[in-house]
A and B are shown apart, each in its own frame.
Chain A
Amino acid sequence: MARREWPLVAFTLLGQTAVGAFWLTAVPLAFAGRSAADLGGLSLGFAVYGGIAGLLGMAAASSFFHLGRPWRAVRALNNLGSSWLSREIFGELVFLVLTAGLALIEWIRPGGTARAGVLRAAVLVTGASGLLFFYGMIRLYMLRTVPAWRDAHTPVSFLVTSLILGALASALFLRLTGSRLEGVGFPTIRSLALIAFAGMVAGLAVSVFLTPQVGIFGARIATLLAPPKRKIVPFVVARGLLLAVSGSAILMYSARLKIAPDATVNPLLWLAVAGGLAAELAGRRLFYALYSRVGI
């Protein structure tokens, strides 16, 4: 993978984390149906939306490093009619602006999103823009001239990344902000930990079964430029090991939460987050290493 693709690694991982975190925290938060006080008011609502907007802002900023002429980046919206890259960027910007808007509303009127129907609709619209962003990200890579990307591996691996990193980021985030949401219809930190674990199991399955060239049911690419297995296998192995470490840590953390639900941020959670992030970095490097177009 070329060094120039690191900004894209950052952009896609941050973006997919933001989409996952929004659907795992912001949407349930808006529909928890409790007062601002129950939900932690400003400290939680603003922190959730602001945190996700921050992730999206970092994603947008990192994407500039990929461009030869970043000062002209606004032109990337010129071709919404046919370019999935334009649509992806449009989705990202809408998602960012709406999430930042929700954060602003929470800052001005704490707990507002938990009460007002209009604002709940706004959360759903924001979530939908996140899905548009996510879908655009999938479609832009599924080029008909790049068979390794035009494969089930692309959407499935992106979805798994959203689950793993979205759930881990949410769990860490809620723990750091001191959320007390158990029993108000909001996902508990333990349930987020279990979602992350399920994502990691799915991630391992994707690596074993769907990875192009090496997976049991993975596509076999016969283009002249197809990467050799020796360039793919190290990433698959590294990702698998890191997912195993992260999965073990999050499972132990989940078991600890069952015994002591109010446990503060634990080294196990940090280990799970670090391992999960490293695993997805390896997975995304693998994704870009798979690139090979038909022809020359």
Chain B
Amino acid sequence: MSRYGFFFDASACSGCKTCQAACKDKNGLGVGVLWRRVYEVQGGAWRKEGGLWRPAVFAYNVSVACNHCEEPICRTVCPTAAVIQREDGIVTIDRALCIGCRYCEWACPYGALQFDEPQGRMTKCDFCPDELEAGRPPVCVAACPMRALDFGEVEELRAKHGATAAIVPLPKPEVTKPALVIKPHRDAARAEAEGAEVANWEEI
């Protein structure tokens, strides 16, 4: 069976965070728990051109949830075997098994696993299985006003959009082999070459 994956168009994302809000609303997530997060990436500086200083800055946004990796490190490290990968690639957490040790939170390079303090256990994006069963897209995809998010069978997404899954600030895809396809922002190459920072850590 093919695996589900997300597509993210960084060149289209305006950073409105509707995806984040829709996910939070649909799943009733508490304060501080974000299954989908929008990272504001910025870099560059003033550049001297002759006798003139010109701003040569850049900024773009990256919307990330769990990438339902081919090699999910969260599943490997979980001591209770609470992290499960379905045949369709979706990675979920068995609520009954999780003991809230937060080891998966340390390990996941996407920050996908989020601790729910009142419940004392880990939570994460489950790809909205109820929406899929009803023939609808995950709510983050459906909510995006810029159509910057999409989903589907990951091989189809790669055939349509290319196989890129790397963009600053995400880790190298070799680490966990995410089911993610990205259309990079025009300044993504500059961010990679010159370095960039996340401007909104306080929000995420």
Contacts and interface: CB of A to CB of B under 8 A. Distances in A.
Contact of B109 (A68, A78, A295): A295
B99 A296 contact: no
Contact of B80 (A78, A224, A294, A296): A78
Interface string A89-101: 1000000000000
Interface stretch (A106-114, A139-147, A275-283): A139-147
B66 to A, nearest CB: 12
B120 interface: yes
Interface residues of A, number: 30
A12 to B, nearest CB: 14
Contact of A89 (B64, B78, B79, B109): B79
Interface stretch (B18-26, B100-108, B135-143, B148-156): B100-108
Contact of B77 (A68, A75, A78, A143): A143
Tell me if A's interface is mostly helix, strand, loop or mixed. Answer: loop
A23 interface: no
A73 B100 CA distance: 9
Contact of B100 (A67, A79, A224, A293): A67
A219 to B, nearest CB: 17
Contacts of A78: 79-82, 97
Contacts of A83: 76-79, 81, 103
A136 to B, nearest CB: 11
Contacts of B175: 144-145, 294-295
B77 to A, nearest CB: 5
A291 B106 contact: yes
A294 B108 CA distance: 9
B170 interface: yes
B115 interface: yes
B68 to A, nearest CB: 15
B144 interface: no
B15 interface: no
Nearest to A73: B99
A69 interface: yes
B8 interface: no
Contact of A224 (B37, B77, B117, B169): B169
**Shortest beta-carbon contacts, A-B, top 8:** A68-B100, A68-B120, A295-B171, A295-B109, A85-B79, A86-B79, A75-B80, A79-B81
Interface of A: 4, 66-70, 72-73, 75-79, 82-86, 89, 140, 143-146, 224, 291, 293-296
Given A68-B98, A75-B97, A296-B198, 14 more contacts: A66-B101, A67-B101, A68-B120, A69-B98, A72-B97, A75-B80, A78-B80, A86-B79, A145-B109, A224-B197, A224-B198, A295-B111, A295-B171, A296-B111
9 contacts: A66-B101, A68-B120, A68-B121, A76-B79, A76-B99, A78-B80, A78-B82, A295-B109, A296-B39
